[in-house]
Amino acid sequence: MSLLTPATGTATAPAVPPAPTSGSGAPAPAVRPGTGNRFSAFVHRTSQAGGLVVQPRMGFAEIPVMRDGLLGVRAARAASVGTVTLDSYTRVNDHDSAREALRTGADLNGFPLVAHGAEATTAMLDGVAGPDFPVQVRHGSALPYPLFEAMVEAGIDATEGGPVSYCLPYSRVPLTEAVDAWSRCCELLAAQERQMHLESFGGCMLGQLCPPGLLVALSVLEALFFAEHGLRSISLSYAQQTHAGQDLEALAALRRLAGERLSGLDWHVVLYTYMGVYPRTPVGSFRILEDSARLAVRSGTERLIVKTPAEAHRIPTVQENVDALEFAAYVADDEARHGRPHQATETGVYEEARMLVDSTLDLAPTVGAALVAAFARGHLDVPYCLHLDNANRARAFVDPRGLLRWGDPGAMPVTADPAAARRPLSAQGLIDMLGYNERRFDREQLTRVTHPQGSLT
């Protein structure tokens, strides 16, 4: 069933209201909520009440604009949490340049938290953030210790990243340095009376063309790294890929492994709406967002990070973010009420991810050292990632059914498709794969207008 009208491509009913503040009478949660962290408490409370937490990616340089953006998200007709996304200077610890940009009014592509300072950030959040509207800082830094110090001082509820997921895609920092920095960051958080919630970005490596088994393994390994350094409130990520059934299988594998490996900890799962080349038509963009919201509900995922139709062209406005949040919340409510069972694929994602986790941990006595050793040997290898500490021998491809599979595993102990190994990948072939979802969802809008009753893929 589609929630887009053929004429306008907008939601046909108002969004679901925020989840109640009590889960009384709801089924017991599948995970153990921690104490003292209002971010995870809000997520668990909403999930127990049958809702889905939705979240934007949003950051503005000036304090009044950032505060207004958070207030706009808080007022959305959805169970939403706030996001403060940091700017590029702050991500690389160039805080002097961030301060100079604030002084001169130069453009920044996010919120320079360290340049503004903890006191100003705390004042910005005063009267905005709270138990019913926690806020997460998103940053992208491989060496984030100064940033973590500022977040702790400002009383931030949650942040995200990881020693692999914020090093290999976004920096030239040696992996050993990133692991050391993230060890110190985790220990800083663990030493606080009120621990910050930390989300692994490991399930989102490069956003696309990384097979689900490796994404699941990296998310679990980073979560184990966090736990090894004393953290007790954790979330594990996964990014929507190219096949709904395979994504359903991957999310089930992620939940199963987390249940096996994070016993006694406070954890939940977060799904990202597709992070690769995005549809360029408004209808195509809403269609892929709709698919991700339905996937979140079908898989039991507690939190969804959304994208907007503006993603393919520019940074979205606050209202565009709010529209996407409300649309996703309405879709999730519709799926919970009227959705039909959907079949997951059986491609061995759980078995592959478990094998990668176990064999990586066997390489060294600590999770951090094991991660360094695994990448040094090519035992873990992110396809098409150019970081010097990544072997970049492994290759993946999208098969005719839309499944994301291994073509050449390099030195990774995974099974590749023999036929794919005999077909060398051209530059045009790579471009075609990168645009797979863009073409699919933009093309499908024509079919959906003609046949609006068609079911989702």
d(CA 42, CA 407): 41
**For strand 303-305 and strand 53-55, is the pairing parallel, antiparallel, or unpaired?**
parallel
Condensed to tens digits (0 to 9), the pLDDT of residues 340-374 reads 888 899 999 999 999 999 999 999 999 999 999 99
Condensed to tens digits (0 to 9), the pLDDT of residues 389-432 reads 999 999 999 888 999 999 999 999 998 877 665 567 777 777 77
User: Torsion angle, CA of 323/328/329/331, rounded to 10 degrees?
Assistant: 120
Report the pLDDT averaged over residues 275-294: 87
Report the pLDDT averaged over residues 120-143: 97
Q: Residue 417 maps to which CATH number? A: 3.20.20.240
Residue 325 above 60 pLDDT?
yes
Q: Which domain holds residue 232?
A: 1-457
Report the pLDDT averaged over residues 149-161: 97
Condensed to tens digits (0 to 9), the pLDDT of residues 8-45 reads 333 333 333 333 333 323 333 344 444 469 999 999 99
Report the pLDDT averaged over residues 98-111: 95
**For strand 395-398 and strand 303-305, is the pairing parallel, antiparallel, or unpaired?**
unpaired
3-state secondary structure 156-201: CCEEEECCCCCCCCCCCCCHHHHHHHHHHHHHHHHCCCCCCEEEEC
Choose between 22 and 289: higher pLDDT.
Answer: 289
311 closest CA partner among 272, 270, 280, 271: 280
Residue 440 above 70 pLDDT?
yes
CA 342 to chain centre: 23
Q: Is the pTM of this model over 0.95?
A: no
* Number of domains making up the chain: 1
pLDDT at 423: 67
